[in-house]
Structure 1
């Protein structure tokens, strides 16, 4: 499906004053800043983020708020899939620490699921550090089920819990 026919044309999703749209090159600096603020060892490089923005098999979603100064990026999620594949993977989900607890993570998760459906996927998977309790709670509240653990997954040797959710069009 055409990239222009994805989340951007789906029903608007909001949490408090935030909304989600597809990210573009104009968001690159804000996405890099969010990546650097959110992750220590497993950061994506500017080049990798730029690649994601133009990839036909990736969708970068931006959670934004509007204020008097304009639009501000407060979170992002990166969804990956294979061409003609039915499984999508949330490769990254990050929210500014100042917006944590306001529903932005759930908003991004919901939007990623809509995007996966629009792209023809029926299953979403993700990995999360075994000690990231707030993210684990978020995923479980949204219907994700733990299906395996990957030992020594992260650079620091931490294990990853693997979650998945079957999607249905509603």
Structure 2
């Protein structure tokens, strides 16, 4: 990770209760806890998250907010890239259930798009479970185009809808 998020101006609009930054090794416990709380199947392991944090072709973003005890991680997103490719893939996005409905998914998606652009990517792709209607609505509202379906994609047999969006330099 080469710091592409610095272009994000990590303070969000006032409507959002959090800011987004690149995750660091010190976030590993919070990232693992969020992963375990957010996903039943296909959870990233501690080892996989550690690898993502160190990988030059991945970015892990952390949505954080401050409370009485200090900074709290309330959401995260992982972006994958291939060297030489202008296509990025949103591998995972998660928001703490205690912060659901507060706009953090949209805040993280903004940050993902900025990070993908900062890493030289012009197309962002992702998959969404066919039963994850909230995520599907978010992606459609944000201009993502459905371009295919992957049957039996998830461990439980649920299909995935494939979305993509051309990213435009602001």
Query: TM-score per shorter chain, which class?
Result: over 0.9
Take 1:134 and 1:10, find their aligned partners in 2: how far apart are those partners? 25
Unpaired runs of 5+ residues, structure 2, are none
Indicate the SS of the match to 2:64: strand
Query: Could you tell me how far 1:16 is from its partner in structure 2?
Result: 2.2
- 2:10 aligns to what? 12
Distance across 1 between alignment mates of 2:6 and 2:21: 5
Q: Which residue of 2 aligns with 1:130?
A: 130
Query: How far has the Cα of 1:99 moved from its partner?
Result: 0.5
What is the rounded CA distance, in whole Å, between the counterparts of 1:101 and 1:8 in structure 2? 26
Deviation at 1:12, TM superposition (A): 2.6
Deviation at 1:142, TM superposition (A): 1.0
Which residue of the partner structure matches residue 119 of structure 1?
119
How does the TM-score come out when normalised to structure 2? 0.96
CA contact (8 A) 1:127 1:163 kept: yes
Task: Tell me if structure 2 keeps the 8 A contact 1:13–1:107.
Answer: no
Query: Are the equivalent residues in 1 in contact too, given 2:8–2:111 (CA < 8 A)?
Result: no
Moved more, 71-80 or 10-19: 10-19
Q: Cα deviations across residues 30-86 of structure 1 (Å, max 9, x unaligned)?
A: 000000000011101110000000000000000000122100000000000001210
- How many residue pairs match? The answer is 168
What is aligned with 1:146?
146
